[in-house]
Amino acid sequence: MNTIKTIFKIGKGPSSSHTIGPYNATKAFIGEINRKNIKKINKIRASLYGSLALTGRGHLTDKAIIEAASGYNVEVLFFPEKILPFHPNGMVIDAISKDGKSLLSWEIYSIGGGEVLINFSKNDDSKNLVNLSELEGDEKKDFLDIYPFSTMEEILTFLRKSGKSFLEYVEDFEGSSIWDYLSLVWQTMLQSIDRGINREGVLPGNLHIYRKASLYHAKSLNFMGNMQKEGLLYSYALAVAEENACGGIIATAPTCGSSGVLPAILFHLKGEYNITEHKILRALATAGLIGKLVQTNASISGAEVGCQGEIGVACSMAAAAATYLLGGTPSQIEYAAEMGLEHHLGLTCDPLGGYVQIPCIERNAFAAARAIDACLFSILSDGSHKISFDKIVEVMKQTGKDLPSIYKETSLGGIAYVNKENEQPEV
């Protein structure tokens, strides 16, 4: 299992798999052109397949690629019917000469949370897939397996024997530099909440949705007690999710579409209980470990397993973080994480018009509320329960396999289907 930093990527929304992944892959491709000193390029052609093609316009994939290849003439083609062999989010990028020859060609897979695999040889053996991080010298260590264990059961056994906590486990294997990175992540989260709370207006695209965060925040302040607390919690989650929908800078947790859940919980608890930044970073480490376990043993890609892998995992991470902050034991943290995921099993990914707006934005607010419930539920218990976190991750993976593709970031079914006039996003 590699670093938890890959769960918290900082970049522009609205989608880690459809925006950050293709953007980074295109940047690396342009870097390779420069390194190889390839001349006489007429255009850069990006061909998008499967889910990337079906929801790429609404998710701003084409704009991200054009921005990453700025200075070049860029052509983006969409092939929704075809799926490349290793993942529903496939893409081929070519540097095309004046006489139509491909001077450099990469087959790329954006596998969720901004992670990218490249198939240089373009044959069907998955062993040939290379992680983009492996190519980038400075980040090479981020690709290496640094953790000795890759299941919750193994980690809990280690913690029981050593008397350590989840965050000590993280520090032991990441090194103390992880705190600087998590501090950057926390600052990004705070900035996205602040921007989102203070902005008003209509979100981009043809759904014409008015931002809610600012209004919800103002109205909540007029309530008292739990109504106020829950209203404010919603507003923080909405703030980040709306910033993400606008292509603003956010930190994935574990993806862009689900990036509002964890910051909302941390910000809310920080205010309620006067929690220090030091503790917040430790909660982030705990949450990152949960996300990493799911990514390693299942998936955090909506195109692969549906929204249970995005919002479900975000809720699981946030529930674990909250339980840590409120003094939970490792068993209670594990229980909270399990419940956060269990009660999102089967959740479909069906964004209306291909935009990361409906149902995504509201889902962040509801998952934040559910994370608090999972935390309270586990704190009230002694941490013992029947279905383990590892089992639920396995069930989530199988459920994702069983879900028809219309519910996996294709915008062909579910909520995306109820409003046919909105099916085609603005280009």
Least Cβ distance, residue 412 to ligand SF4 (angstroms): 12
Q: How far apart are CA 406 and CA 349, in angstroms?
A: 8
* Single-letter amino acid, residue 210: Y
Q: How far apart are CA 206 and CA 231, in angstroms?
A: 27
Task: Decide whether 288 or 353 has the Cβ nearer to ligand SF4.
Answer: 353
Least Cβ distance, residue 242 to ligand SF4 (angstroms): 13
Residue from 125, 151, 85 nearest 298 by CA: 151
Task: Decide whether 285 or 367 has the Cβ nearer to ligand SF4.
Answer: 367
Task: Decide whether 268 or 363 has the Cβ nearer to ligand SF4.
Answer: 363
Other CB atoms within a 10 A radius of the CB of residue 198 amount to 11
Q: How far apart are CA 122 and CA 128, in angstroms?
A: 8
Least Cβ distance, residue 310 to ligand SF4 (angstroms): 4
Task: Decide whether 6 or 55 has the Cβ nearer to ligand SF4.
Answer: 55
Q: Using the Cα atoms of residue 392, residue 394, residue 398 and residue 400 in order, give the sign of their dihedral.
A: positive
Least Cβ distance, residue 137 to ligand SF4 (angstroms): 31
Least Cβ distance, residue 62 to ligand SF4 (angstroms): 17
Least Cβ distance, residue 95 to ligand SF4 (angstroms): 30
Q: What's the token pair of residue 47? A: 């061909």
Least Cβ distance, residue 307 to ligand SF4 (angstroms): 3
Q: What's the token pair of residue 57? A: 């316009």
Q: How far apart are CA 282 and CA 278, in angstroms?
A: 7
Least Cβ distance, residue 19 to ligand SF4 (angstroms): 11
Task: Decide whether 235 or 258 has the Cβ nearer to ligand SF4.
Answer: 258
Q: Is the peptide bond prior to 359 cis by the omega test (within 30 degrees of 0)?
A: yes
Task: Decide whether 79 or 366 has the Cβ nearer to ligand SF4.
Answer: 366
Q: How far apart are CA 377 and CA 368, in angstroms?
A: 14
Pair type for strands 129-131 and 249-251: unpaired
What's 7's DSSP letter?
G
Task: Decide whether 312 or 328 has the Cβ nearer to ligand SF4.
Answer: 312
Task: Decide whether 119 or 411 has the Cβ nearer to ligand SF4.
Answer: 411
Q: How far apart are CA 380 and CA 46, in angstroms?
A: 52
Least Cβ distance, residue 309 to ligand SF4 (angstroms): 7
Cα Rg, the chain, nearest whole Å: 21
Q: What's the token pair of residue 194? A: 């602040």
Least Cβ distance, residue 348 to ligand SF4 (angstroms): 7
Do 277 and 186 contact (CB within 8 A), yes or no?
A: yes
Residue numbers at the binding site for ligand SF4 (CB under 6 A):
257-258, 302, 307, 310-311, 349, 351, 356, 359-360, 363, 409
DSSP secondary structure string, 135-201?
A: HSGGGHHHHS---S--SHHHHHHHHHHH---HHHHHHHHH-TTHHHHHHHHHHHHHHHHHHHHH--S
Task: Decide whether 90 or 328 has the Cβ nearer to ligand SF4.
Answer: 90
Q: What's the token pair of residue 240? A: 């980040």
Task: Decide whether 156 or 305 has the Cβ nearer to ligand SF4.
Answer: 305
Q: How far apart are CA 28 and CA 114, in angstroms?
A: 13
Task: Decide whether 11 or 330 has the Cβ nearer to ligand SF4.
Answer: 11
Place of tokens 């906590």: 165
Least Cβ distance, residue 356 to ligand SF4 (angstroms): 5
Q: Residue 223, Cα to own-chain centre: how many angstroms?
A: 32
Do 59 and 19 contact (CB within 8 A), yes or no?
A: yes
